[in-house]
Amino acid sequence: MAKFLISKSRPLSGEVDVSGSKNAVLPIMAASLLTEGKCEISDVPLLRDVDVMCGLLRSIGSSVNEKDDGHTIEIVTKNIALQEAPYELVKKMRASILVMGPLLAKTGRAKIALPGGCAIGSRPINLHLKGLAALGAKIVEEHGFVEAKADRLRGGNVYLDFPSVGATENIIMAAVLAEGVTVLENVAEEPEIVDLASFLNKMGAKIKGAGTDTIKIEGVAALNGARHSVIPDRIETGTFMLAAAITRGDVLIKNIVPDHVKPVIAKLKECGVTVEDTDDGVRVRCLKAPLISTDIKTLPYPGFPTDMQSQFMAFLTTVTGTSMVIETVFENRYMQIGELNRMGANIKIEGRGAVVQGERLLQGTQVLATDLRAGAALVLAGLAAEGTTEISEIYHIERGYSDFIEKLRKLGAGVTRVEE
């Protein structure tokens, strides 16, 4: 088992390039099942989740090849040999459920093991199934699997009770080959949805409204291959912004879309951090002392992202004053609190909220990464803590951050990955 060793950092400085988005590339890879043509995807991040998705696609029958640059993959699916996603792969990554829509649309059948992933709370797939049923699929759940069948999907109207990103993506991918018109309402508006729709439209799909709460899809008979570059990862962007802030550094973050991280920028500015747009990206500096507290509340996009809550909480332990953090998306996304308190933080849970007492002198100790974003929060806390922080179960972190340690070291952080 590997672990991270982190020593207290001087103010980080320099430049860092953000990798392609994990949450965008996975559904785009799944969408390649919808065509027999070649799909070339560039700006692919080097992540464990991407490796798992490659394995899942190969098990289904795809040819998946990595090009020499290491960040471009070619996917060709001439024949779908398996209409099931094996449990051995699905249990490693919740995003495996995203092959359900494409398999159903292309072959008329999909059987998927109930997914795994981070233990951050209940994330039922009922909205996925509701949308597929509205397109004419018959759904059966038994023995830990869910199976969907349809001789031919037909367009329909779907209203999501909650704007689930995964459900929106799965239903879009099913609807592009459905007969007739599909209208999706109260859907997710995340940039990753827009990126998926852009890729599908390059393949010949007819999708309008991605990035709004209503999407209209006119089904087509077949799709072709396409080339596509994945958008930058907005959560990695936000994490490096907070790395600069928690070390009181000066970092230029490149290859980003500033509009995708507006809520994070706004909250950093409320704390007194200087965030400047440049021709090359966003520069994050701490010119004022001391930094002050603020409150955050997670919401679906374009609100403050739940995937940034843990990291921002770690930062708030180091500023002056008391902050309130309210998590509205997942009920169990405070798993970092116990570990941060072990490092000297003072955070108390009150219902769906958490009260963070600032100006804490964090101390390095042994901590556990319980999930992806909680792990990232512990890395940030380690940069600000006296002594050495030892983080175990780092496979969670490596699921979502490409070359994380190398990028931090380039900025001056004392971070080492060691094998036990």
Joined tokens for residue 297: 């509340």
> Is residue 242 domain-shared with residue 204, that is, in the same domain?
no
Mean pLDDT check: name the lowest of 17-26, 95-104, 204-213, 259-268.
95-104
Q: What is the CA radius of gyration of the chain?
A: 21
Active-site residue numbers? 118
Q: What is the pLDDT of residue 117?
A: 43
> Is residue 10 domain-shared with residue 31, that is, in the same domain?
no
Separation between Cα atoms, residue 6 and residue 13, nearest integer Å: 17
> Is residue 65 domain-shared with residue 140, that is, in the same domain?
yes
> Is residue 244 domain-shared with residue 324, that is, in the same domain?
yes
Boundary of a domain, candidates 200, 229, 258: 229
How many CB atoms lie under 10 A from the CB of residue 100? 27
Separation between Cα atoms, residue 218 and residue 207, nearest integer Å: 7
Q: What is the pLDDT of residue 51?
A: 93
> Is residue 321 domain-shared with residue 363, that is, in the same domain?
yes
Q: Tell me the pLDDT tens digit for each residue of 224-243.
A: 999 999 999 999 999 999 99
CATH number of the structural domain spanning residue 155: 3.65.10.10
> Is residue 40 domain-shared with residue 165, that is, in the same domain?
yes
> Is residue 299 domain-shared with residue 414, that is, in the same domain?
yes
> Is residue 216 domain-shared with residue 264, that is, in the same domain?
no
SS3 content of the chain, % helix, strand, coil (to 5): 35, 30, 40
The count of structural domains within the chain is 2
Joined tokens for residue 352: 């769906």
pLDDT of 114 over the 80 cut:
no
Domain residue limits at 287: 2-19+232-419
pLDDT of 121 over the 70 cut:
no
pTM here is 0.95
> Is residue 62 domain-shared with residue 196, that is, in the same domain?
yes
Query: What percent of the chain shows pLDDT beyond 90?
Result: 86
Contact 152, 107 (CB under 8 A): no
Q: Tell me the pLDDT tens digit for each residue of 332-368.
A: 779 999 999 999 999 999 988 999 999 999 999 999 9
> Is residue 216 domain-shared with residue 246, that is, in the same domain?
no
> Is residue 180 domain-shared with residue 98, that is, in the same domain?
yes
> Is residue 261 domain-shared with residue 302, that is, in the same domain?
yes
Q: Tell me the pLDDT tens digit for each residue of 148-165.
A: 999 999 999 999 999 999
C-alpha torsion 313→317→319→320, nearest 10: 120
Boundary of a domain, candidates 206, 229, 252: 229
Per DSSP, the three-state class of 395 is helix
The residue written with tokens 């060793």 in the block is 5
Q: What is the pLDDT of residue 92?
A: 78
* Confidence band, pLDDT 50/70/90 cuts, at residue 118: very low
Boundary of a domain, candidates 208, 229, 250: 229
